[in-house]
Amino acid sequence: MSEHMVYFDNAREGADVLGSDPSLLRQAEQVFGVRMTARDAWVRIEGADEPARRAGHFIETLRRARNRGIELQAPGRAYALQAFVEGREAELEKIHRCRIEVAPSLPAVFPRTFGQYRYVHAIRENDLAIGVGPAGTGKTYLAMALAVSALLAGEVSRLILARPAVEAGEALGFLPGDFRQKVLPYLRPLHDALYDMMKPDEIERSIERGVIEVAPLAYMRGRTLNHAFVILDEAQNTTQEQMLMLLTRLGFDSKCVVTGDLTQVDLPSGKPSGLREARRLLAGVPGISIIELQESDVVRHELVQRIVRAYRSGRPEKTESRES
């Protein structure tokens, strides 16, 4: 029997690392087979030498993540504990070091899962990356963070953010206002992610100067996108022709990220999804990476993982019935 102590710099650090829910320590006790006692600025771990050492390493890993700027929440702590269960703590360190710098006054963005880490790495290493996965896996958010980071670092001179203007099973009807007001409902998710990465006044100035362009996919036809970071969101709702059109717009010193969820196709019956076709045809093409994100990569409310799993197990993919 041995005793291992982990000391925090202050009570605030301890609270950030361990959270307010005591269930984390109880779960860790079961996983490592030790006894853990926490106070404001320390954790005492009692047990056999090796289990106590690993339990201490787990707490220290969370502490390092917190001190790198990662906002620890219950799902992230649970994911880290599961990584130790699977013996993947070294890979967990890679995730925690994978920092995406956005606006200087805003916190950095980090991937939260192994799948998200592979996705970020694929975008950084390839001129075209395709991210396919269910809602809540960070496809759009991480792509936007990397796009803003590249823009602010001078790696590209503009951002092009596009979405197909397809309604999700509910007709919006006539929309009043100018062009920007009419298309805003379709592009709102891109706007929301962008406003998390940059200050509002910077965004407005960049849009006015054409440095950031948020537009429906149809407005990409006939263009060549040089020195740009292009994001095509909700790509499951592109036709095959639209997908080919967008991918062939890519110019010199540009990067493109295509994201979508093949279980949420809203195209008319009989219209094959351009994303499905691109995933099939472009697999293995040099310079292109296709990343499949899973339910385990969902980082929204824990219920979202359960909902995605239930829908996938209870019915075939929506796109299969429409495209058969």
Where in 88-187 does DSSP place strands (E)? 128-132, 158-163
Q: 2-7 and 288-292: which strand pairing?
A: unpaired
CA dist list (Å): 239 to 10, 78, 293: 56, 39, 22
Structural domains in the chain, CATH included, are: 2-97 (3.30.1370.10), 114-323 (3.40.50.300)
pLDDT at 304 > cutoff 70: no
Write out pLDDT tens, residues 3-60: 999 999 999 999 999 988 888 899 999 999 999 999 989 999 999 999 999 999 999 9
For residue 292, pLDDT beyond 70: yes
> Helical H runs in 68-126?
74-85, 89-97, 114-125
122 near 139, Cβ under 8 Å?
A: no
pLDDT digits (tens, 9 = 90+) for 80-108: 999 999 999 888 989 999 999 998 888 89
CA–CA dist 162, 159 (Å, integer): 10
Query: Which pLDDT value is given to residue 23?
Result: 87
- Mean pLDDT over 129-148 rounds to 94
**3-state secondary structure (DSSP) of residue 152:** helix
pTM: 0.83
